[in-house]
Amino acid sequence: MRNYSFSKKRRLHKATEFQAVIRFRCTVSGEFLQFCVKPSNLDHPRLGLIIAKKMERHAIRRNRLKRFLREVFRKHQQELDKMDCVFRLQRSLTQIDSVRIRQEAEMLIHKLRMKQCCD
């Protein structure tokens, strides 16, 4: 049975952890999101989200976007085994279209799996 939980141990917490993932430079970008990964020594993937207030002014929209991205991560965490991952909002959204954001996030995960920089 698959474990779809998203406990605290599956999150990036410290700024240094986020910086390490971003500096590793294994990245793919879409229209709104950037997805970065870095191999880790842990036996499970971890996720960090960067949704800047400058990009999305309304807290309700920022939080909703985070929920969508966490949901995509939970569904695909088996594919991202032993990786530290960061989703970053690159462009301001006029409206949050949940289907479009989910599709872009899933497409980025698939693109990154095909890319060879993370081996």
Helices 59-76 and 98-114 cross at an angle (nearest 10°) of 40
> What CA–CA distance (Å, rounded) separates 20 from 25?
9
- pTM for the structure as a whole: 0.88
1-60 pLDDT, tens digit per residue, is 466 667 788 899 999 999 999 999 899 999 999 999 999 999 889 999 999 999 888 899
DSSP string, 27-75: EEE-SSEEEEEEE-SSSS-EEEEE--TTT---HHHHHHHHHHHHHHHHH
The CA-CA-CA angle for residues 4, 112, 44, to 5°, reads 35
- Asked if 33 contacts 104 with a C-beta cutoff of 8 angstroms, the reply is yes
64-76 pLDDT, tens digit per residue, is 999 999 999 999 9
Beta carbons within 8 Å of 15's beta carbon, 6+ residues apart: none
